[in-house]
Amino acid sequence: MVRIGILSFAHMHAGSYARCVKGLPNAELVGIADSAKARGERMAQRFETRYMGRDELLERVDAVIVTAENARHARWAIPAAKAGRHVLCEKPIAADVADAKRMIKACEKAGVQLGIAFPCRYMPPMRRLKALCDGGELGRFLAAKGTNRGRMPGGWFTKPKLSGGGAVLDHTVHVLDLMRWMLKAEVVQVYAEVDRLLHDIESDDCGTLTMTFDNGVFATLDPSWSRPQSYPTWGDVTLQIVGTDGVAASDGAGQKLDLYDDRRGRGDWRYWGFNPDEGLVADFVDAVESGRPFDITGTDGLRALEVAVAAYRSAEQGRPVNVEELGGRD
Amino acid sequence: MCGVGVIGCGGMGRGHAGRFASLPDVRVVACADVREEAARQAAAEHGAQAYGDGRQLLDDPRVDIAVICTSTPSHAEFIEEAARRGKHIFCEKPMARTLADARRAIDAAKQAGVCLMVGHVLRFFPEYALAKRLLDEGAIGRPAVARTTRASAHPRTVGDWFADPEVSGGVLVDMAIHDIDFLLWCFGPAQRVYCKALTYRGPEMTDYGLATVRFKSRVIAHIEGSWAHTPGTFFTKLEIAGDQGLLEYDSAAASPLQVWRKAKGEGAPGVMVPESPLAESPYLVEIREFMDCVRTGRQPSVTLQDAYDALELALAAVESSRRGEVVTLPLT
């Protein structure tokens, strides 16, 4: 039985992870710690577990899930590592590269796993696309095109001090991780258009990235918070890969039916596909239990973050930016 | 009675010949093609004179209107030759292969005082026209992010001139230019473009491009042109997100007529052909507008500046992909 604690409910995905843990036969949600006490107590009640102080929780668990604001990931993850607990951290790994590197180092030193929550790897269409890629069915990779659009999430997401950036940070990392995973390559250069055009907020809310990978593949990515409130679903995660032998296009969240509900006054897309969060959490729990390394590492999180950071720099400077300019791949 | 001469009797040429012939008081009197058999066949359909050379057709006094459907690099010289002889001109897109050629062609038409219209037909497709109207009505508020896709297999045509990017300009100049014109129509002049593209160099490579454009109005557009898909494919997509809403169109979802034909005979697979029947062909609509401009002297809704701007942005995208740099506009 893997004992899990959730650290901070600042990120809305914490609720989903809590449900996933409770649904597993080999995991137990031991407790919740949160710097926002009222929120922590409310969530503990909702998920039928205990609210407790951080150190008390760390004593009682094998692993933690960190779902704080991006800029606060390190201050929860590093003490957990020092206490000898494995960490599954919400994406992006951190709000800046320095924090990400500190987290990776701390977990390495403590001999614990640092996993990053990239649930899109568990979407069945994406796993199938990965299998096609690994099987060589598309031939040599030539180009890729991805999207991860969404609604503007509000709250701390739009405050760069807490988030590290807006839409470009929030939504680059999922698809970038998928691209690295499928293409088995690293991004060398990024050009980005970034702007705030859709919402009255502090951070950026739209853009388009163009990336060159070290295997010659070029790719674009749209991370915009461009789905309006009236859109029938929250957004999308899509990835298309062009190879010498064909083209494959995957719509990760595309398995839906259309529901028209007069009480809501509009149409909705209801997803009936496999819940990728379940895949993610089950896989992490299994890795902790068996001792095998979890597939999605802190370095995966760092690589995805680097591309978002390079995108911001590119947009500021109006030119393509080499990722190595960010300083030090160790 | 207006006499029409069609130069270039491939698919577009023959199609336009039929459309012009269907208009009242218009007759197709001449068809020219360097392939004499193609010219002869097209001419036979309309009781027209066949020519092996476009210049000969332009010397025919019965020709009032020249319709240019040759490969792209010859567009400009035929426009000039036609203008010089006082013929009105309908020219397929792209207007020319280079900006210098486009400038010469525009000057020739203006100097001769003839009507010149370039076939940027996408504006006449009802779904695109509606999208533009909704945009203008404020249905999505202030536009911010746009995406277009236009995808097919690598086109096969006479002499495979599409396959030679020097001749056709590749997928961006030849096919994505439709979406480029549409986006310029929607959002105004472009500020800069950054593009990555693959160029066809034989069957193991393909033509595929992804261009990101920033407009002076701050709109960000992502343009996808693909000749990487498989034979039988053709689809287009459009999405425009604004601060009050979003519109999206996927041609693959708009197949209101689907016909499953069983194959006759053992073992042969049947085929499903989707159709989106239109009351009126957009090609006919644009040609009717052209004829009205010829008769009344008014400017076509697709202006010569529009045609030039579309070519310029397409060429800028190609240049960006070659240099690996952001290219700012105007180019010259």
DSSP codes joined into one string, B162-190: GG-HHHH-HHHHHTTHHHHHHHHHHH--E
Choose among A319, A322, A327, A298: nearest CA to A310. Answer: A322
- Superfamily of domain B122-280+309-328 in the CATH hierarchy: Dihydrodipicolinate Reductase; domain 2 (3.30.360.10)
Q: What is the pLDDT of residue A328?
A: 58
The span from the CA of A131 to the CA of A137, in Å, is: 9
Residues in A closer than 8 angstroms to B204, CB to CB, are: 244
Taking a C-beta distance cutoff of 8 angstroms, is the pair B291, B102 a contact?
A: no
Q: What is the pLDDT of residue A158?
A: 96
Angle, CA A145 vertex, CA A200 and CA A95 arms, to 5°:
45
pLDDT per residue as tens digits for the range B43-61: 999 999 999 999 999 999 9
Taking a C-beta distance cutoff of 8 angstroms, is the pair B45, B29 a contact?
A: no
Q: What percent of chain B has a predicted confidence (pLDDT) above 90?
A: 83
Interval A38-50 mean pLDDT: 98
Q: Inter-chain contact B326–A212, Cβ cutoff 8 Å?
A: no
Report the predicted TM-score, pTM, of the whole model to 2 decimal places: 0.95
Q: What is the pLDDT of residue A284?
A: 98
Count of A-B CB contacts under 8 Å: 94
Q: Is the pLDDT of residue A330 over 90?
A: no
Q: What is the pLDDT of residue A99?
A: 98
Pick from B144, B224, B226: CB nearest A197: B144
The span from the CA of B191 to the CA of B180, in Å, is: 13
Domain boundaries, chain B: 2-118, 122-280+309-328
pLDDT per residue as tens digits for the range A110-122: 999 999 999 999 9
* Chain B residues near any Cβ of chain A (below 8 Å): 140, 142, 144-145, 147, 194, 196, 198, 204-206, 208, 210, 212, 214, 218-220, 222, 224, 226, 228-230, 241-246, 324-326
Give the number of other Cβ atoms within 10 Å of residue A207's Cβ. Answer: 29
When mean pLDDT is compared across A264-268, A270-274, B160-164, the lowest value belongs to: B160-164
Q: What is the pLDDT of residue A228?
A: 95
Return the DSSP state at A294: P
Residues in A closer than 8 angstroms to B205, CB to CB, are: 244
Give the residue with greater pLDDT, A182 vs B258: A182
Residues in A closer than 8 angstroms to B142, CB to CB, are: 197
Residue in chain B nearest A152 by alpha carbon:
B243
Taking a C-beta distance cutoff of 8 angstroms, is the pair A188, A213 a contact?
A: yes
- Round the average pLDDT of chain A to a whole number and report it: 97
CATH number 3.40.50.720 is the correct assignment for the domain at B2-118: yes
DSSP codes joined into one string, B31-44: EE-SSHHHHHHHHH
Q: Inter-chain contact B196–A145, Cβ cutoff 8 Å?
A: no
List, in order of start, the domains of chain A with CATH numbers. Answer: 2-117 (3.40.50.720), 121-272+305-326 (3.30.360.10)
Q: Which residues pair with B246 in a beta bridge?
A: B241
Q: What is the pLDDT of residue A195?
A: 98
Q: Is the pLDDT of residue B264 over 80?
A: no
Return the DSSP state at B95: S
The span from the CA of A148 to the CA of A164, in Å, is: 18
